[in-house]
């Protein structure tokens, strides 16, 4: 079994993108050592004290602003440039006895991208990674002395750590013509300088001084490292018990070390650490410290198997730190029970016919796991649809009342903020009132100000009719919507079939799999274009699972005498009612309510809207985490839990 795992924090492989222009590293409780790492070992370059930050990024092309002798001016320039979302920095030098600060945008992988960024400021010029080698020295102080002499002559020069020692790089050219011009100017100013071409494919790490862009106080210098030619800058605490913090990852602290390198011309940041130390965080990131030990052990084995199964999925890394693989949040996510679960299952993995399985897992199956054909469209022998005790996800959740305001608007209010008045309307539905001021009414029963913002507010004493109730949306049972036709078109986009050209009049699930998950959704009788069944979740706006029903606001069913049943649409067929005179009249209002024989009320609107109601959270393949918790509470050990979700597998211990 591999001793370590490589986790991509920032990377762009083309198929997966988690970009960053630069990273800021520090050690939380010990000194941080940095250097070049290659096949021959580790070559130290720099060391900083605990909590002292360093900056690292990939060499490339830049939009460079004119130099200023005023650090505050340079920072103001950089902050202005950063508003557009691009990476920015400030190089700090001393030229001809005077301070010189240059703000830049970048780096970019191409000259053209830097030129486009340079348009943000009329004074910006394009600079690049091309340069000359002004000598290789045995020690850093010797190289720094030569670099200082070149800078004093008015040129940009940095010390670089390369395989053979410390080099002086004179650079900043963006193309061959400017590179030649640079050589001519340096040779004229410093005839004794011997410049040789820099091999752009050979790894090197430049060391320079920069200024902090953020903040309003005193301008703080920071040591910066610029990685070029595929070099690997390695940063690790001198005390292995300490962690490396990455500011751009929410200041998370990571065990092991951080490698800064390039892939496809872009920055790549990899956390390399012992596999079980990685699992301490994965189990802690995926599950809760209060969960049963057997559920935590099952998660540890599934996560270990998953990591080992991936190989070099990201070319220079095995896994990412996101839900594209398994969530990994560094040391802050660890807790004692997670560590104990990993240690108790050391080396254990899941196999099927002596080979590692793909041990997929997710939050909640909604009572029944998926068959592989429902997600991928093809069978996998150990991924079958089985029952799952997932209801624990809604334990402790409170109901939300579905209400109708005096204006006719329908929505949901949390039950903590509403009380029964003891009175009812003409058809026996109860009146409730708000217990406090400024209570939000939402389209669905959950709080999310971005995805489910308030549609109205009510104050204390405001009365409304309650037409139903539902448990707050959770990982087991949920509601999304309502979505009008325009919003649905926006979500489905190019996946809409030709049948939608004249409008979306009907949306329905037309095929289901063994677990009841949707395999096909149709618009006006024609299937939505989906590359595989589980893609319907994202096509429909990020639904928690494909185990759902669709409610359409303007459709309702009328049951007549005997067994007669008629599907009715408020948008294309008028509703008639007869008053005391017996004369039928068309109902012209935009909205009305249908009361069934069992007392259920459905709002019906002439404006087409769609509501999705479902169970489960995730793709549904393999182990449900909430189900594992449920089984553990029923007395299952971790082996029995795993074998309940992965048919025919064996728990194997690797050497």
In a domain, 508, yes or no: no
In this predicted structure, what is the pLDDT of residue 562?
Answer: 58
pLDDT tens-digit profile of 569-578?
555 566 666 6
In this predicted structure, what is the pLDDT of residue 381?
Answer: 95
Beta carbons of 187 and 195 less than 8 angstroms apart = yes
Looking up tokens 């959704």 gives 521
147: CB partners within 8 A, 6+ apart: 134, 157, 158, 159, 168
Tokens of 22: 């630069």
Q: What angle is formed at CA 311 by the lines to CA 305 and CA 313, rounded to 5 degrees? A: 115
445: CB partners within 8 A, 6+ apart: 399, 400, 402, 412, 414, 470, 471, 472, 473, 479
pLDDT tens-digit profile of 589-640?
656 666 665 667 777 666 788 999 999 999 999 999 999 999 999 999 999 9
CA atoms within 13 A on the CB side of 92: 16
In a domain, 151, yes or no: yes
Tokens of 6: 């490589």
* Residue 623 dihedral angles phi and psi, to the nearest 5°: -85, 125
Average pLDDT over residues 379-404: 96
Which stretches does DSSP call E strand in 96-237?
A: 98-108, 125-127, 130-137, 157-162, 165-173, 196-197, 204-211, 221-228, 233-237
In this predicted structure, what is the pLDDT of residue 30?
Answer: 94
Same domain membership, residue 206 and residue 71: yes
Same domain membership, residue 165 and residue 91: yes
> Rg for the chain (alpha carbons), in Å?
31
Tokens of 230: 């595929």
pLDDT tens-digit profile of 165-200?
899 999 889 999 999 999 999 999 999 989 998 887
Same domain membership, residue 64 and residue 48: no
CA atoms within 13 A on the CB side of 8: 29
Average pLDDT over residues 27-41: 92
Tokens of 126: 């394009």
CA-CA distance, 243 to 157, in Å (whole number)?
33
CA-CA distance, 533 to 510, in Å (whole number)?
12
> In the chain, pLDDT over 90 holds for what percent of residues?
75
Last residue of a domain, one of 442, 471, 500: 471
In a domain, 273, yes or no: yes
Summary mean pLDDT of the chain:
91
Same domain membership, residue 104 and residue 205: yes
Of 84-98, 306-320, 413-427, least confident by mean pLDDT is: 84-98
Same domain membership, residue 200 and residue 74: yes
In a domain, 218, yes or no: no
In a domain, 372, yes or no: no
In this predicted structure, what is the pLDDT of residue 199?
Answer: 80
Tokens of 287: 């599950």
Same domain membership, residue 330 and residue 432: no
In a domain, 523, yes or no: no
Give, for 183, the enclosing helix (H) or strand (E): helix 176-189
DSSP annotation of 397 reads P
In this predicted structure, what is the pLDDT of residue 133?
Answer: 94
Check whether 229 has a pLDDT greater than 70: yes
Check whether 330 has a pLDDT greater than 60: yes
User: What sign does the dihedral 283-287-290-295 (CA atoms) show?
Assistant: negative
In this predicted structure, what is the pLDDT of residue 627?
Answer: 98
pLDDT tens-digit profile of 50-107?
999 999 999 999 999 998 998 888 888 888 877 666 788 999 988 777 888 999 999 9
Same domain membership, residue 594 and residue 574: yes
CA-CA distance, 288 to 338, in Å (whole number)?
9
Same domain membership, residue 96 and residue 198: yes
Same domain membership, residue 73 and residue 167: yes
In a domain, 517, yes or no: no
CA-CA distance, 228 to 202, in Å (whole number)?
8
In this predicted structure, what is the pLDDT of residue 120?
Answer: 82
pLDDT tens-digit profile of 430-488?
999 999 999 999 999 999 999 999 999 999 999 999 999 999 999 999 999 899 899 99
In this predicted structure, what is the pLDDT of residue 37?
Answer: 92
The C-alpha torsion from 561 through 563 and 567 to 570, rounded to 10°, is: 20
Give the range of the structural domain holding residue 39, as residue numbers without chain letter: 4-53+229-350
CA-CA distance, 17 to 264, in Å (whole number)?
11
Q: What are the residues facing 197 on neighbouring strands?
A: 132
In this predicted structure, what is the pLDDT of residue 174?
Answer: 95
Last residue of a domain, one of 350, 366, 388: 350
In this predicted structure, what is the pLDDT of residue 25?
Answer: 97
Tokens of 373: 């054909």
DSSP annotation of 329 reads -
Same domain membership, residue 345 and residue 403: no
Last residue of a domain, one of 471, 489, 506: 471
Cβ neighbourhood burial of 243 (10 Å; 0-12, 13-18, 19+): buried
Total structural domains within the chain: 4
In a domain, 535, yes or no: no
Closest CA to 507 of 515, 424, 499, 110: 499
Average pLDDT over residues 529-556: 89
pLDDT tens-digit profile of 126-173?
999 999 999 999 999 999 999 999 998 889 999 999 987 899 999 889
Same domain membership, residue 159 and residue 36: no
In this predicted structure, what is the pLDDT of residue 38?
Answer: 87
Same domain membership, residue 313 and residue 433: no
């Amino acid at each position: 079994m591999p001793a370590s795992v490589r986790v991509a924090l920032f990377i762009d492989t083309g198929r997966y993108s988690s970009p960053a222009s630069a990273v800021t590293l520090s050690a939380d409780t010990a000194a941080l050592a940095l250097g070049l790492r290659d096949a021959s070992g580790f070559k130290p370059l720099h060391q900083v004290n605990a909590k002292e930050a360093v900056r690292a990024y990939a060499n490339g092309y830049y939009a460079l602003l004119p130099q200023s002798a005023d650090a505050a001016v340079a920072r103001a320039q950089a902050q202005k440039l950063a508003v557009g979302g691009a990476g920015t920095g400030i190089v700090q030098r001393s030229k001809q006895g005077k301070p010189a600060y240059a703000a830049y945008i970048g780096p970019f992988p191409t000259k053209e991208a830097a030129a486009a960024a340079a348009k943000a400021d009329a004074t910006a010029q394009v600079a690049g990674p091309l340069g000359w080698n002004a000598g290789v020295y045995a020690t850093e102080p010797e190289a720094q002395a030569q670099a200082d002499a070149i800078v004093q002559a008015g040129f940009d020069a940095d010390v670089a750590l390369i395989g053979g020692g410390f080099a002086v790089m004179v650079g900043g050219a963006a193309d061959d013509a400017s590179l030649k011009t640079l050589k001519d100017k340096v040779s004229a100013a410093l005839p004794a300088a011997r410049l040789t071409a820099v091999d752009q494919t050979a790894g090197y790490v430049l060391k320079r001084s920069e200024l902090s862009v953020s903040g309003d106080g005193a301008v703080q210098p920071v040591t910066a490292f610029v990685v070029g030619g595929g070099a690997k800058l390695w940063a690790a605490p001198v005390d292995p018990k300490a962690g490396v913090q990455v500011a751009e990852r929410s200041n998370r602290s990571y065990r092991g070390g951080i490698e800064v390198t390039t892939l496809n011309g872009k920055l790549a940041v990899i956390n390399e650490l012992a596999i079980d130390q990685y699992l301490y965080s994965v189990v802690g990131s995926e599950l809760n410290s209060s969960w049963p030990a057997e559920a935590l052990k099952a998660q540890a084995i599934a996560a270990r198997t998953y990591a080992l199964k991936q190989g070099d999925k990201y070319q220079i890394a095995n896994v990412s730190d996101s839900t594209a693989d398994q969530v990994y949040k560094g040391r802050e996510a660890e807790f004692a029970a997670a560590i104990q679960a990993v240690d108790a299952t050391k080396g254990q993995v899941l196999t099927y016919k002596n080979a590692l399985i793909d041990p997929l897992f997710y939050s909640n199956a909604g009572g029944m796991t998926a068959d592989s054909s429902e997600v991928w469209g093809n069978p996998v022998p150990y991924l079958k649809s089985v029952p799952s005790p997932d209801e624990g996800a809604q334990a402790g959740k409170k109901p939300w009342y579905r209400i109708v305001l005096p204006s006719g608007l329908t929505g949901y209010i949390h039950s903590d903020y509403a009380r029964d008045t003891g009175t009812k309307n003409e058809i026996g539905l109860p009146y409730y009132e708000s217990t406090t001021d400024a209570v939000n009414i939402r389209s669905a029963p959950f709080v999310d100000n971005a995805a489910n913002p308030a549609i109205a507010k009510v104050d204390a004493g405001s009365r409304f009719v309650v037409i139903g109730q539902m448990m707050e949306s959770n990982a087991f049972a949920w509601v999304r919507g309502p979505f009008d036709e325009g919003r649905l078109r926006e979500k489905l986009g190019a996946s809409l079939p030709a049948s939608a050209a004249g409008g979306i009049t009907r949306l329905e699930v037309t095929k289901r799999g063994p677990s009841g998950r949707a395999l096909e959704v149709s618009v006006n009788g024609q299937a939505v274009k989906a590359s595989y069944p589980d893609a319907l979740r994202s096509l429909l706006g990020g639904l928690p699972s494909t185990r759902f029903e669709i409610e359409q606001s303007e459709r309702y069913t009328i049951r007549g005498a005997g067994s007669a049943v008629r599907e009715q649409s408020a948008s294309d067929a008028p509703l008639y009612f007869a008053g005391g005179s017996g004369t039928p009249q068309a109902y012209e209002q935009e909205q009305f309510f249908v009361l069934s024989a069992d007392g259920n009320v459905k709002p019906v609107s002439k404006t087409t809207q769609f509501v999705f109601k479902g169970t489960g959270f995730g793709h549904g393949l393999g182990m449900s985490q909430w189900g594992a918790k449920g089984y553990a509470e029923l007395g299952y050990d971790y082996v029995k839990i795993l074998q309940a979700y992965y048919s025919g597998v064996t728990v194997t211990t690797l050497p």
